[in-house]
Structure 1
Amino acid sequence: MRSVKLILAAGAASLMSTAVFAADMPLPPPMSYAPPPVEDFGGWYLRGDIGFSNQKVKNIAMGDNRNAALLSLQENVAFDTAGIFGGGVGYQFNNWLRGDITGQYRGNANFKGTDRVTFPSAGLVGNGVNNYTASKSEWVVMANGYVDLGTWWCVTPFVGAGVGMARVNIANYTDNGSTIVGGVTSTSFAGAPAASKWNLAWALHTGLAYKVNPATTIEFGYSYMNLGDATTGPVSDYTGFTRGVPMQFKDITSHDLKLGVRWNLDSPPAYAPPPPLIRKG
């Protein structure tokens, strides 16, 4: 009987020591849960762009249309390629719509053109050639809107449009001409001072955007821009005589290729930080 009591006492002591040991063990850390996905849109951004233009002009003509009565054929009337430098600020409204306001300086583009004319002169038919040169630059301010068309492997195609104002400047205008009437050749020269003109401008955009990280996106873009008309100062001949009429450049357009960077000022963290661990004991 005594041995049974000893066995029961030993068992009770063992259970009590086990319970005390378990109470002294630290509690397991709380279970952690994956944070909900963070939306990767919304907020303000800054942008910068560089690129080059491929510009055209529909035609050039005197401001009073004096040469409109001449039978004229214009050849090789175009601008050279020029650099584009721009920047702006924008807002991403949601995961497919954004807009920005941009400023752009479009560097000097050299202009060359040839005008072949036929005209009556003292009962004879005269033929003439005018070779034009000039340089052109612009300041452009534009409000733009874009639609992002979905994202695949961090690449997002987009389309957009913009409207604003362009200050078009024409400088270094010259006109070297020669005419032949009755077998007699004569030469002429004309020039004009620089002048600027503000126009309504509009653009169509498309391109691809690559998200490097939540705060930085690189763009490869194309824009078709209509910059309106431009004008020189009053044209005068080599003696300084002028009728006070400028030469006008009608309907200037450009095909632009650009490389841009967008910096998101409100980019969310890539993941939510886990809750702090709390230990007892």
Structure 2
Amino acid sequence: MRHLKYLLAATAASLLSTAALAADLPIAPPPAYAPPPPADFGGWYLRGDIGMSNQSVKRLDTPGYHDPGITVPRTNGLGFDSAGIYGVGVGYRFNNWFRADLTGEYRGKANLHGLDIVSFNGNVIGTDEYHGSKSEWLFLANAYVDLGTWWCVTPFIGAGVGMSRNTISGFQDINTPNLSVAFAPDASKWSFAWAAHAGLAYKVTPSTTIELAYRYVDLGNGSTGALTNYFGFTRGRTIEFKDITSQDVRLGVRWSLEPTPVYAPPPLITKG
């Protein structure tokens, strides 16, 4: 019995000594987990847009043609009806405030209207009434600046330059002084174009953003084919459309092509 007491006492002393030594050792900290990297605002994106145009033209010219004594004041009601806009594009976001894209769009046929009051030596002798339609293919390189985000809404401004292929279709000139009608075949003309943008963007998901935007665009000039009169006679004259502009309202969607990063949460640490 005495030997058993000695054995229990020795065992207890050994355990106490080991516990004291462990208490003197430094406690290892829990494994550190680095925070997720900051959000990457850059990356490629696709875009699609629809909208409506509100178009105008400054004046109509007939190059190299003038009848002595004939005066034609500014055309009354000269302009175009509204038409649909359908566009696509690809772009790149460089950071959280600057992005750029290349866009191409078809601008649907818009009806032409206009009326000239024709005078000869100061006396009104009749009218020229214009009919037809206009459409375009517009290609732009655009750059945008995002102005900050409030309640998930980001206002932006931008500018673009490019080319527009302006097509005049079904042109007719109903001329009452000569009791005649002139018409021209469809014709297309490439012209320098530029645009100014302003709008609001709303991020629906990490990869999808919708836009409501206003755009002023200068489409350059257009031209008809050679005019032919009612009897089939032509002198090779054309009607030039000078300074075609439009104020557009568009609804767009941007889709990010960059994968959305997913971070695994750190493991739970519990006290044993």
TM range (shorter): 0.7 to 0.9
TM normalised by structure 2 equals 0.85
Give the SS at the match of 1:176. strand
**Cα distance between partner residues in 1 of 2:6 and 2:67:** 130
Q: Please give the per-residue CA displacement for 1:92-124, whole angstroms capped at 9, x wherever unaligned.
A: 01111100000010000011111111113xxx9
Shift of 1:32: 6.5
Shift of 1:163: 0.2
Q: Do 1:43 and 1:267's aligned partners in 2 also have CA atoms closer than 8 Å?
A: no
Q: Please give the per-residue CA displacement for 1:140-174, whole angstroms capped at 9, x wherever unaligned.
A: 11100000101112111000000000000001001
Structure showing greater relative contact order (alpha-carbon pairs closer than 8 Å, 6 or more residues apart) = 1
Shift of 1:10: 11
The equivalent residue for 1:98 is: 99
Q: Do 1:35 and 1:272's aligned partners in 2 also have CA atoms closer than 8 Å?
A: no
The equivalent residue for 1:252 is: 244
The one-letter code sitting in structure 2 at the alignment partner of 1:211 is K
Shift of 1:276: 6.7
Q: Please give the per-residue CA displacement for 1:41-93, whole angstroms capped at 9, x wherever unaligned.
A: 10111101000100000111212242696242411111010000000110001
Q: Does residue 78 of structure 2 align to residue 77 of structure 1?
A: yes
The one-letter code sitting in structure 1 at the alignment partner of 2:81 is D
The equivalent residue for 2:184 is: 192
Distance 1:158 1:240, change over 3 A: same
Within a 5 Å distance, the mapping from 1:151-166 to structure 2 comes to 151-166=149-164
Pairwise CA RMSD: 3.1
The equivalent residue for 1:272 is: 263
The equivalent residue for 2:253 is: 261
Q: Do 2:165 and 2:188's aligned partners in 1 also have CA atoms closer than 8 Å?
A: yes
Give the SS at the match of 1:244. coil
Distance 1:210 1:102, change over 3 A: same
The equivalent residue for 2:27 is: none
Give the SS at the match of 1:12. helix
The one-letter code sitting in structure 2 at the alignment partner of 1:79 is F
The equivalent residue for 1:204 is: 196
**Cα distance between partner residues in 1 of 2:67 and 2:167:** 23
Shift of 1:274: 3.1
**Cα distance between partner residues in 2 of 1:100 and 1:227:** 19
Shift of 1:196: 0.3
Q: Does residue 125 of structure 2 align to residue 132 of structure 1?
A: no
Give the SS at the match of 2:150. coil
Shift of 1:199: 0.2
Shift of 1:31: 5.4
Shift of 1:40: 4.1
Corresponding residue to 1:145 among 137, 143, 146 = 143
Q: Does residue 167 of structure 2 align to residue 169 of structure 1?
A: yes
The one-letter code sitting in structure 1 at the alignment partner of 2:242 is K
The equivalent residue for 1:26 is: none
The equivalent residue for 1:38 is: 38
Q: Percent identity?
A: 57
Question: In proportion to residue count, which structure has more strand?
Answer: 1
Q: Do 2:49 and 2:252's aligned partners in 1 also have CA atoms closer than 8 Å?
A: yes
Give 5+ residue unaligned stretches, structure 2: 20-29
Corresponding residue to 1:222 among 191, 195, 214 = 214
**Cα distance between partner residues in 2 of 1:262 and 1:32:** 38
Give 5+ residue unaligned stretches, structure 1: 20-29, 180-185
